[in-house]
Amino acid sequence: QKEVEQNSGPLSVPEGAIASLNCTYSDRVSQSFFWYRQYSGKSPELIMSIYSNGDKEDGRFTAQLNKASQYVSLLIRDSQPSDSATYLCAVTPPTSYGKLTFGQGTILTVHP
Amino acid sequence: GAGVSQSPRYKVAKRGQDVALRCDPISGHVSLFWYQQALGQGPEFLTYFQNEAQLDKSGLPSDRFFAERPEGSVSTLKIQRTQQEDSAVYLCASSPQGGGQPQHFGDGTRLSIL
């Protein structure tokens, strides 16, 4: 079992729809959770961080964390073609310095 | 302010050659990480520095890989006697302190071994 697994893609949604990206992790004591967006040929860009159970909203993005189920998700409302990218879920184990363990990424395509 | 800067952006080398990849983190950032990203995969951790101290090198694939950060700012990742399986994008990231703080990534160096 991989440490961090994301729902297999690619995911295709129409413009204006809600895109739902899911991620599960195996280490129950993981502490910090991140969603990065990566455009082709570019570096990962942090879009959301979440540290405690529940929902965290930032503009069109909502991250949801459920530590009991070891599950973290990202919802993108009113999806735009510019949201088309690979979305990476990342988790930090319980170390003092926070190295990231990434999932394999989910490719999202938002079509007009 | 400037973000994380990596150079070169692209590097092509013949199998067996040595290469050196440079990372210039955000000024003042204590923590510096190197990751390796294969095509179609998420980045994988290679090594971590806190200032000039290399506190974790558990992700380095072999003893051909060596990293340093002698003055606690710029870091260099060196790969000796390169192999084709070393072909990947090498990403550098920095954060103010580490400990779960968000990391800021550079654009990476795309290394191709012929």
Q: Are B25 and B73 in contact (CB under 8 A)?
A: yes
DSSP collapsed to 3 states, B50-74: ECCEEEECCCCCCCCEEEECCCCCC
Q: List C-alpha distances in Å: A2 to A23, A27, B36, B49.
A: 11, 10, 17, 25
Q: What is the mean pLDDT of residues A85-105?
A: 89
Q: What is the pLDDT of residues B55-111, one digit of tens each?
A: 999 999 999 999 999 999 999 999 999 999 999 999 999 999 877 788 999 999 999
Q: What is the mean pLDDT of chain B?
A: 94
Residue A93's pLDDT is what? 79
Interchain CB distance below 8 Å, A100 and B41: no
Lowest mean pLDDT among A47-61, A82-96, B69-83: A82-96
Q: Are A8 and A107 in contact (CB under 8 A)?
A: no
Q: Is the pLDDT of residue A107 over 80?
A: yes
Q: What is the pLDDT of residues B70-82, one digit of tens each?
A: 999 999 999 999 9
Distance from CA of A42 to the nearest CA of B (A): 6
Q: What is the mean pLDDT of residues B33-42?
A: 95
Residues of chain B whose beta carbon is less than 8 angstroms from a beta carbon of chain A are: 4, 31, 33, 35, 40-45, 48, 50, 55-56, 59, 91, 93, 95, 98-108
Q: What is the mean pLDDT of residues A85-91?
A: 96
Residue A1's pLDDT is what? 66
Q: Is the pLDDT of residue B1 over 70?
A: no
Q: What is the mean pLDDT of residues B39-68?
A: 95
Residue A31's pLDDT is what? 82
Q: What is the mean pLDDT of residues B50-58?
A: 94
Residue A85's pLDDT is what? 97
For A53-87, b/e burial (b = at least 16 CB within 10 A) is eeeeeeeebbbbbebeebebbbbbeebeeebbbbb
Spatial distance between the Cα atoms of A16 and A27, rounded to a whole number of angstroms = 35
Residue B111's pLDDT is what? 98
Q: Are A14 and A8 in contact (CB under 8 A)?
A: no
Residue B99's pLDDT is what? 73
- Retrieve residue A100's tokens: 């990231």
Q: Is A49 on the interface with B (CB under 8 A)?
A: yes
Spatial distance between the Cα atoms of B10 and A51, rounded to a whole number of angstroms = 36
Q: Which percentage of chain B shows pLDDT scores above 70?
A: 99
**If you compute the radius of gyration of chain B from its CA atoms, what whole number of angstroms results?**
13
Q: Is the pLDDT of residue B54 over 80?
A: yes
Residue A96's pLDDT is what? 67
Spatial distance between the Cα atoms of A3 and A111, rounded to a whole number of angstroms = 31
| All residues at 6 or more sequence positions from A12 whose CB lies less than 8 Å from its CB, including other chains | A108, A109, A110, A111
Distance from CA of A8 to the nearest CA of B (A): 12
Q: What is the mean pLDDT of residues B9-27?
A: 97
Q: List C-alpha distances in Å: B113 to A77, B13, B21, B35, B85.
A: 41, 5, 14, 18, 8
The H-or-E segment that residue A86 falls in is strand A85-92
